Structure 1
Amino acid sequence: MRVIIVGAGEVGFNVARRLSGESKEVVVIDTNSKALSRVSDTLDVQTILGSGSSPEILKRAGIVDADIFLAVTDKDEINLISTFLANRIAPKIIKLARIRNEDYTKYPEMFTEGDLRIDTLINPDEEVVESILRVMSVPGAVEINDFVGGKVRLIGVKLPKESPLVGVTLMNIKEHLVGINVVIAALVREDRLIIPGGLDTIQEGDIVYFTSMRNQQESLLRQAGILSDPIRKVLIVGGGNVGFLLAQALDNKKFHTRLLDKDSDRCDELSEKLDRVIVLHGDGTDQELLKEENVGELDMVISVTGDEEMNILSCLLAKNLGARKTITRINNFAYIPLIQPIGIDHLVCPRLSAINSILHFVRQGKVISAVSIKGEEAEALEAIAQEKSGIVGKPIKDLNLPKGTLILCFQRGEEVIIPSGFTVIEPNDRLLIISTRKNIPEIEKALTTKLEYY
């Protein structure tokens, strides 16, 4: 597979890093020589200094023979022009563009055909808002992802010491979760991710990733001893794109929402666009202001400004004043492992959201969606089992899947099935697979070809 990436920023760099580590042929284009040097010094990929909006540069990158074209610079216009030219030169390849400006995203029909065709518009801001709303729907969760058209949910939850599941061996888990179809997809123990087997035992302090039907979620959490009070009172710090989109989503009777921004003109603009949301002018790191707004009585403080240091500080201040839950927006990948140890409950990362949006297009086989679990240590893939696939026609116990890989569930027709070792995958089953990152190339092969050891 040959992938051309326009943009060597954090998104471009990290997509290139993921793909080059899986032996895919990657070309990265950028006008910034320093950004390209970081790529070439770190990764085994080809780099080209120049603009992705240059037909000559695109031809030199080998776009005619490429499979996927990604335009992921920070400038929407460059991404659009690059994709326009890619359509003219190589109309059949898959094209994805990172587009954030609402002036473009509210007219998706413009990008469905002809020279403006883009297979997927990647809007990290919208992905981040969806992530926040999922976390708000399950306050006790660390991470939440939806699959199978929203029917199946993968929920990561840190178990309290009083949970009845502490000390339970996974092969006996169903005795403690009565009437629930559930699979333990992963455990995080002392910051180490484990794809478990039936003989593993849940320990105090583990983050447990449950796979279950969404309509059984409440019963699962209640029986596991982790059901929290619902989120009602919310403060959003930052009135930019993400803050505004989130405020719009919460602008209803269910939530009492306040939005804080330090730009008075932006506050005036937001006040006109929002109905029930209270817009406040001020700084999220002003401790006296936070006290005046009774932050200690809030269910959740969500800091989503463009300044991640400010986001971290405002969440720490809010937590110190008594706020029940906090979410911070992070762009720098290096900060991600630090967030929970310092006391912030959740993080959202637009760049990681963009990478997840891209991943399933570059996965071989009929992959519908792909998301990273615990940063990038594992990946959950949703894919259609093809007739020629190595996983079709044998009981799961005989597939000899690589260690660190589980088939969590699958949809056959309208039915969602939690499999046993004797379950046989059939063509066109819609599978949900979790695997450690190092096994992804083998999983791709299993999804596309008949391998001898399968």
Structure 2
Amino acid sequence: MRVIICGAGQVGYNIAAYLAREDNDITVIDTNPQLIARVNDELDANGIVGHASRPDVLDRAGANDADLIIAVTHSDEVNMIACQVAHSLFNVPKKIARIRERDYLDPAWSNLFSRSHLPIDVVISPEVEVAKAINSRLEIPGTTSVMALAGGKVYLLGVICTPNCPVVNTPLKQLVGLFPDLAIEIAAISRHGQIIFPGADDQMLAGDEVFFFADARHMRRAMSAFGHEETEARNIVVMGGGNIGMYLAKMLDEQGRHIRVKIIERNEDRARFLSEKLPQHIIINGDALQHEILVEANVGQAETLIAVTDDDEANILGSLLAKQHGCQRVITLINKSNYAPLIGNLSIDVAVSPRASTVSTIMQHVRRGRIRALLSLCNGELEVIEVEISETSAFVNVPLIDLEIPDHVVIGAIVRNGQVIMPKPFTVIKPGDHVMIMAPEAQMPSVEKLFIVHVDLF
């Protein structure tokens, strides 16, 4: 399959890395020679320096034979024009574009991205994806990661083990005795930045980040087992009134969650705009890093502060100040991947990455057929997929104990005819089953081939 990726930033690079490992023909376009040099040096992909919206550049990139174009440059307009040119001049079958500007996403112009206007098949908004990711953490308080699978029947959850929770310092093989009816499967542990795939004799320690699959009906009990009995926040302070903060407030309203939201926005014009768009919430015009503004927002009484400005340093500092004021929990937007190792040493409960959210969403649209969902964890080291099993899979009608499953690959749950099955040694996978799998990023291509014979794309 031939894919053109416009933009070699963090999102474009990571998408190229995913697709290149699956033996696709990948070309990446960017105006920055250094970013293209990185693509050529580190990936099995062809990098071209140039403007992605120009016909001659797309022609050099092989648009005549391309199956898919993914436009993720920093310019919405370049992304849109690149898709238009790819459609009009080269008849590229599928076009995906990242669009940030809220005016383009206004429901009033919903027909803009149609085949008769701007022929973009899938529009991805990083701000909307981040707002969704934050909302999922609010729905299940105490989680660091959340992914709904199989239509919400199974969840992949990440949690931090608290010092006094029942599962700490207990071998995994004893958990069945402690919680005989709890439908969960522990998949991986992140400890001091290292990924551990635990065996029966391994223990979870206080401070570990544990990733596990759970039957949706057992989520609350599972969270309690890991020491988390937080109730859903009803009083939230949002630091930053940009698109993410606005989208999140609107999501909460649309879901009828009855959550009180205060948004701190330093730009006076923007604060006035938010007051008009969100009349039911309190908008405070000021600098969230100033003591008097935090006092005015009563952040010490808030259950959650959500820091979503476009400045990572301000988000981190604002989160720490909120904790000092007595805020129970902070969710912090972090763009720069080099800050990720520091998060565990700070009092930040949840760090949200726009890059990870956007890449996971785009990859779900790129893949078709048997791959139903994809999530990237731990800065890309781990991946979770939901696979629909085909009749030609080598794993059909064979007990799990007899399968040659690669090391560190975890089958977390199976959904068959709407029923959740937690895997046991003699569980048999059948055609049509939805299987939830976690594996190291490097092993995922072989995992996909084992379970579905071949990887279908778009």
Flag whether TM exceeds 0.5 (same fold).
yes
Matches within 5 A, 1:264-279: 264-279=268-283
Deviation of 1:56 after TM superposition, in Å, equals 2.5
What is the aligned counterpart of 2:188 among 186, 189, 196? 186
- Among 161, 164, 174, the residue aligned to 2:163: 161
Paired position in structure 1 for 2:258: 254
1:149-172 deviation line (CA, Å, top 9, x unaligned): 122111111111211112333233
Q: Distance in 2 between matches of 1:113 and 1:388?
A: 36
Identity score, percent: 37
Match of 1:419 in 2: 423
Mapping for residues 53-452 of structure 1, pairs under 5 Å: 53-89=53-89, 91=91, 93-105=93-105, 106=107, 107-108=109-110, 110-111=112-113, 113=115, 116-251=118-253, 254-362=258-366, 366-449=370-453
Deviates more, 1:58-67 or 1:262-271: 58-67
The answer to whether the Cα contact below 8 Å between 1:365 and 1:447 also exists between their aligned partners in 2 is no
Deviation at 1:120, TM superposition (A): 2.3
Residues 132-156 of structure 1 show CA distances to partners (whole Å, capped at 9, x for unaligned) of 1111122221211111112211111
Q: Give 3-state SS (helix, strand or coil) of 1:375's partner.
A: helix
How big is each residue's C-alpha offset from its partner over 1:164-221, in whole Å with a ceiling of 9 and x where there is no partner? 1123332332322243311112112222112333343323332222211223211222
State the secondary structure of the residue aligned to 1:129. helix
How far does residue 434 in structure 1 lie from its aligned partner after superposition?
0.6
Cα pair distance change 1:353/1:422, threshold 3 Å: same
Residue number in structure 1 paired with 2:4:
4
The 3-state SS of whatever aligns with 1:387 is coil
The separation in 2 between residues aligned to 1:225 and 1:338, in whole angstroms, is 23
Question: Which deviates more from structure 2 when the two are superposed, residues 267-276 or residues 84-93?
Answer: 84-93
For 2:84 and 2:297, how far apart are their aligned partners in 1? 49
Q: Distance in 1 between matches of 2:81 and 2:299?
A: 45
Residues 195, 435 of structure 1: 8 Å contact kept: no
Q: TM-score by structure 2 length?
A: 0.91
Contact 1:155 1:211 in 2 (8 A): yes
Change beyond 3 A, Cα 1:49–1:120: same
What's the CA shift string for 1:89-120, capped at 9, x where partnerless?
55464332112233333355554546744342
Quote how far apart the aligned CAs of 1:340 are: 2.8
1:368 aligned counterpart, secondary structure: strand
Residues 387-438 of structure 1, C-alpha deviations (whole Å, 9 max, x = no match)? 2223223222222111010111122222222121212212221111110111
Task: Give the Å deviation of 1:253.
Answer: 6.6
Check 1:147–1:276 CA distance in 2 against 1; reply closer, same or farther (3 A cut).
same
8 Å CA contact 1:361–1:367 kept in 2: the answer is no
Runs of 5+ consecutive residues of structure 2 not aligned to the other structure: none
The match for 1:17 is 17
Aligned residues: 450
Q: CA RMSD in A?
A: 2.3
| Unaligned segments of structure 1, at least 5 residues | none
Distance in 2 separating the partners of 1:433 and 1:67? 28
Q: C-alpha distance in 2, partners of 1:108/1:428?
A: 35
Please give the alpha-carbon distance, in whole angstroms, between the structure 2 residues aligned to 1:174 and 1:411. 21
Q: Distance in 2 between matches of 1:255 and 1:234?
A: 7
Measured in 2, the distance between the counterparts of 1:425 and 1:88 equals: 45
TM-score under structure 1 length normalisation: 0.92
Q: Residues 399, 113 of structure 1: CA spacing in aligned structure 2 closer, same or farther, 3 A cutoff?
A: farther
What is the alpha-carbon distance in structure 1 between the residues aligned to residue 435 and residue 329 of structure 2? 34
| CA pair 230-364 structure 1, distance change in 2 beyond 3 A | closer
Query: Could you report, residue by residue, the CA deviation over 1:75-99 in whole angstroms, capped at 9, with x for unpaired residues?
Result: 2221122112222355464332112
CA drift at 1:322? 1.7
